[in-house]
Structure 1
């Protein structure tokens, strides 16, 4: 985390990218355990926390981002539908759902990294023109 108002947006993007990285590991683990009897899928909650933190602020996105307390938007790992199972062996992992979630998560992660790269490019251009 970079301690400067100039990097507020980058810090939030970084936090979101970390959450998608963690989610990717969880989804990979779910896929690896698709045949493990009794295994319950795990996932992460982050987007709700980020949206709530951004709604706390008012005005433009820059002002909303500047007011976000990054410590308050820590992702939470949870076991999904721990009392349900799709199969007789107690496992609740659906390979098609996990594969779709994995693809969606990868696209989100790549978009976040691209947004960070673009933001650093804008900062570099602004600094070189001053």
Structure 2
């Protein structure tokens, strides 16, 4: 089968967009539980999962393009974990700080917009290549 790798970066960016979408859900859930006694904030691990996948894919290659092509995106599954590192200073045991969550949500939105712009630019280059030939 023809494998040019033209969509390798799109696959990588799609994984990043999926992560950002899920992270916004987790952050919104934290915000909605800001007044729930005993609730512990949750977070999504993606960077470490992606880093491990890149290491596995690039162990035999120093070329970034080849490494991106070799990533098994089925293994890049972010997982939700409870953030117990943030100690609660509240009497009810809740460790959600609304200001932190809102900043993280805004940052995540900017990240998502950047990833989507990257996907659009990649498809725009492919579209340009197809129409100019």
TM > 0.5 between the two?
yes
Give 5+ residue unaligned stretches, structure 1.
Answer: none
Q: Aligned partners of 1:76 and 1:24: how far apart in 2?
A: 13
1:16-95 aligned within 5 A: 16-56=16-56, 57=58, 58-81=61-84, 84-95=87-98
CA RMSD of aligned residues (A): 1.8
Partner of 2:117: 114
1:17-60 C-alpha deviation (Å, 9 max, x unpaired): 00100000110111111111111111100111112222331233
TM-score between both structures, scaled by the size of structure 1 = 0.90
How many residue pairs align between the two structures? Answer: 128
- After superposing on structure 2, the runs of 4+ consecutive aligned residues of structure 1 that deviate more than 6 Å are none
Give 5+ residue unaligned stretches, structure 2.
Answer: none
1:92-124 C-alpha deviation (Å, 9 max, x unpaired): 101111111111111101100000000000111
- Does structure 2 conserve the Cα–Cα contact (< 8 Å) formed by 1:40 and 1:82? no
